[in-house]
Structure 1
Amino acid sequence: MEDFSFEARVLNTPYEKADVYHSLSMPVYNTAAYEFDSAEDMEAAFCGRTTDHAYSRITNPTVQYFEDRIRMITGAMGVTALNSGMAAISNTLMAIAYSGANIVTSRHLFGNTYSFLLNTLGAFGVETRFCDLTNPAEVRKHVDQNTCAIFLEVITNPQMEVADLKALSTIGKEAGVPLIADTTVVPFNIFKAVTFGVDIEIVSSTKYISGGATSTGGLILDYGTFDWSNSARLKDVSALIGSQKAFTFKMRKEIHRNLGAYMTPQVAYMQTLGIETMSIRFERQAATCLELAKELQELENIESVNYTGLPGNPYYDISTSQFGPLPGAMLTFNLASREACFAFMNKLKLIRRATNLFDNKTLAIHPASTIYGTFTEQQRVAMDVDSRTIRLSVGLETVNDLLTDIKQALP
């Protein structure tokens, strides 16, 4: 299947076992437990000597098929599906972090990711080292023998910053540190994370994959490219199972089982269907986003437009080299003030006032008062979250319809 297109691989991922009724869609296995023919078979499943399902908090046939589809289209060695993007982030970092370790990252992070690193992991003795990830020299200064990961969002939200992934990967390899990237804003069909040196890829499948915001989910993709014998947390597992397989082994055999955030079969079914149309939806949404960004630049009441696919954007060159000409379907623009942003949003008629990204509908949000609303002003300033910024997640509407709505809502 490797020689086939993205769409062909998505649509033709084989079942692990043939369906007795030859169903073209993977059935939804709404069950908690599975019966065994013998006590010996049951023991073998529970002790990991077979791949038989035992309990749906650990594995489920419908979820496994969704994981198999992701593996088929990405080439990842291991895929774990969980119930949210934050579950994917937290499970990943819990698998490698330890008291006394540090994680090197940017202050330009999603609000809950920032809080998880600083507050949740911080309470267990894990240090978060914030630095400018677009400056390799500064990153090198922050990485040391206790660094367990370099972590970033490939396009930050809402700052729209893009770091050089190959440069960060080089730093990581020199120091024996994995590069972990949240790639949610650019889907698999246009971006191959592993080719840019990403070792562990994290995706909120709630976004592009779900297909219309039908469900929440998260994915952890392990490309088998990192030598985990260098990891203080995973070196013992590496000796047992092999250095390339240690992370996924730890994730599947301990972390996700103990934290209990495995994806449900109902969500896996909906997202299995959603990914079938992801490529065509993305092409429409991203093309509309680029055209809309160009049009917004011409409106006098909009002070600035931020989309890394715009020539003249400070990250245009690195964005284009990593993501191509259509770097996602999210843009931001600034108005004169916080009050102007609220007045604009209150006048919208077509565009929905809602959080989330990459719904079929176009969504508008004021990040400073919502996603970062519980942060202090000092924290927002440090994170470059501007109170004058509106974020748009562009849906499937036409450019003309969106532009008409935006124009009538502007002062």
Structure 2
Amino acid sequence: MKKQTQAIHLAYKRPDAYNALSFPVYNAVAYEFPDAQMMSDAFCGRIDAPDYSRVENPTVTNFERRVEALTGAVHVTAVNSGMAAISNAILTLAAKGKNIVTSKHLFGNTFSLLAFTLHRFGVDARLVDLTNLDEVREAVDDKTCALFFEIITNPQMEVADIGGLAEITKSHHVPLVADTTTIPFTQFSAKDLGVDIEVVSSTKYVSGGATSLGGLIIDYGNFPRFTKTMAGESLFNFGAYMTPQVAFLQTIGLETLDARYRVQSSNALELAKRLEKLPQIKRVNYVGLEDNPYHELARKQFGKAAGAMVCIDLESQEACFSMLNKLKVIHRATNLFDNRTLAIHPASTIFGLFPPKARQDMDVLDTTIRLSVGLEDVDDLFEDIRQALEK
């Protein structure tokens, strides 16, 4: 089956008692067993049966299995947020004295986790230019526990050569960990590009319009120790497992993901093209535009569509605030890939607590507005931005 069909029609692990078309929400915490031996087997992983909903729940398992089918993963773990996915994956790989090779071009809290939080536990973050493969080669050594990157950075919109990174990590037997939130996993194969572990904020495209917080750790099985530790230690000890209510909502969102993405990415491209013609906008940063420096690489890796995140630069921070304050259709809000179009000034919000020098080093500009393009008619979105700039 094609991916869109798989997302809707994957068979349930066990038949539902009432043949419900939508898998039910199991609001149960514990599960009874017919005898002590089966209880022991379930708790020790000798049989596939839920024992306690902090580590396994039928509704969450159904959601995980659908993602496994769509990605070709060996195992998928659903957790409570995108940051939970990143932190749980990294903590499963990291140890005192190890290092993580990554970039300054990361989402604010991801950067803070890798550069500051983990540093307190003896894990070093080596910040390099991931578009410079020679620099990456110099940074990776026998103490490197992971190379972590975002496939399209937020908000810099940088794209690294995933195949080139994979060649380096495989030569050192180092896991390549990719945050693929900006392009849905239904649109391209991270596995085929050489990614070992994929982390996703399912709050974004997957949830179906910002219905719920969630995250996914998608494991392609290239590092058996990671697979075993995630299933037998991290899931039990960190307590970040997704709730059944969220899994139910995100399973429904998964069914419409492909259809929504086609509209959102198409809207983003058309809006980006129109915004280039407005004199008040100094730069439109979108990898779907043919003159974008990462356009060809992004097209090769992710396909024709380039996502629904567009960044624009105005003359100053004051100009950005003025435009944001005058928007009537587009919402002033954080999050990405809602059904609604959202606008935010990253430097004063997501990166607002970083010192000016740090923001400068991370290429987070005071002149940038980030747009998450939704499902509205693109004519209305363009007119809203035009009127906000002209007044």
- TM-score bracket, normalised by the shorter chain, equals over 0.9
1:67 paired to 2:64: yes
- Alignment correspondent of 2:119: 122
CA distance in 1, matches of 2:375, 2:7: 22
CA distance in 2, matches of 1:61, 1:113: 30
Q: Please list the CA deviations of residues 76-132 of structure 1 after superposition, one character each: whole Å capped at 9, or x if unmatched.
A: 011000000000000001011011100001100000100111121111000000000
1:7 paired to 2:4: yes
CA distance in 2, matches of 1:164, 1:309: 16
Q: Which runs of 4+ in 1 moved over 6 A?
A: none
- What displacement does 1:42 show? 1.4
- What displacement does 1:51 show? 1.4
Q: How does 1:4-403 map to 2 (within 5 A)?
A: 4-224=1-221, 226=222, 228=223, 245-403=224-382
- What displacement does 1:39 show? 1.8
Q: SS state of the match for residue 258, structure 2?
A: helix
Q: Please list the CA deviations of residues 220-242 of structure 1 after superposition, one character each: whole Å capped at 9, or x if unmatched.
A: 11112x2x3xxxxxxxxxxxxxx
Output the TM-score relative to the length of structure 1.
Answer: 0.94
CA distance in 2, matches of 1:216, 1:249: 26
Counterpart of 1:371 in structure 2: which amino acid? I
- What displacement does 1:38 show? 1.5
Q: Please list the CA deviations of residues 288-331 of structure 1 after superposition, one character each: whole Å capped at 9, or x if unmatched.
A: 10010000000000000000010111111111111122110000
CA distance in 2, matches of 1:268, 1:389: 34
- What displacement does 1:12 show? 1.2
Q: SS state of the match for residue 181, structure 1?
A: strand
CA distance in 2, matches of 1:56, 1:47: 15
CA distance in 1, matches of 2:55, 2:363: 40
Q: Please list the CA deviations of residues 19-55 of structure 1 after superposition, one character each: whole Å capped at 9, or x if unmatched.
A: 1111111010001111111222211211211111111
CA distance in 1, matches of 2:302, 2:198: 15
Q: Which moved more, 1:42-51 or 1:305-314?
A: 42-51
Counterpart of 2:257 in structure 1: which amino acid? M
Q: Which runs of 5+ in 2 are unaligned?
A: none
Q: SS state of the match for residue 410, structure 1?
A: helix
Q: SS state of the match for residue 391, structure 1?
A: strand
Q: Please list the CA deviations of residues 185-230 of structure 1 after superposition, one character each: whole Å capped at 9, or x if unmatched.
A: 0002211101110000111000000001000000011112x2x3xx
- What displacement does 1:246 show? 2.5
**What is the aligned-residue RMSD (CA, Å)?**
0.8
Q: Which runs of 5+ in 1 are unaligned?
A: 229-244
Q: SS state of the match for residue 318, structure 2?
A: helix
CA distance in 2, matches of 1:187, 1:52: 30
CA distance in 1, matches of 2:13, 2:272: 44
CA distance in 2, matches of 1:105, 1:327: 23
Aligned residues: 390
Counterpart of 1:74 in structure 2: which amino acid? T
Counterpart of 1:249 in structure 2: which amino acid? K
CA distance in 1, matches of 2:228, 2:141: 26
Output the TM-score relative to the length of structure 2.
Answer: 0.99
CA distance in 2, matches of 1:396, 1:47: 46
